[in-house]
């Protein structure tokens, strides 16, 4: 039986305990070490607040009909255009003319 030494835990294990790679070789860490690393990564991301974010909430739009929201966005787009801005589909504001706005 062929064996290999795990680079993380240092144990000598059979090749079946190592995940095969695309090129036909085996990973340098055993399956249990890989699972432990993945679990630690998931835990760390959860502690940092990573992962899927909750949907964005806006009191002006929450609970309104989608058609009403589109009409409000049309008004906002016209207001921005009158001040030299344009609104793109991704929602970012881009300046179209060069002048400073004071609020």
Residue scoring higher pLDDT (4 or 90): 4
**Cα–Cα distance, 61 to 7 (Å, whole number):** 54
Going from the C-alpha of 35 to that of each of 32, 76, 77, 82, the distances in angstroms are 5, 49, 49, 56
Q: Is the pLDDT of residue 42 over 60?
A: yes
In terms of pTM, does the model score above 0.95? no
* pLDDT at residue 23, as a whole number: 92
Q: What burial class does residue 28 get, using C-beta atoms within 10 Å of its C-beta: 0-12 exposed, 13-18 middle, 19+ buried? A: middle
Closest of 41, 42, 48, 15 to residue 30, by C-alpha: 15
Q: Is the pLDDT at 98 greater than 50, yes or no?
A: no
Over residues 53-92, the pLDDT tens digits come to 666 677 777 788 878 877 887 787 777 777 777 666 554 5
């Amino acid at each position: 039986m062929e064996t290999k030494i795990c680079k993380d835990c240092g144990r000598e294990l059979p090749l079946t305990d190592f995940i095969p790679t695309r090129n036909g070789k085996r990973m340098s860490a055993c399956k249990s070490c890989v699972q432990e690393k993945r679990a630690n990564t998931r835990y760390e991301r959860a502690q940092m607040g990573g992962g899927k974010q909750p949907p964005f909430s806006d009191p002006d739009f929450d609970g309104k009909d989608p058609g009403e929201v589109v009409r409000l966005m049309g008004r906002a787009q016209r207001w921005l255009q009158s001040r030299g801005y344009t609104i793109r589909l991704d929602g970012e504001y881009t300046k179209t003319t060069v002048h400073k706005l004071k609020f």
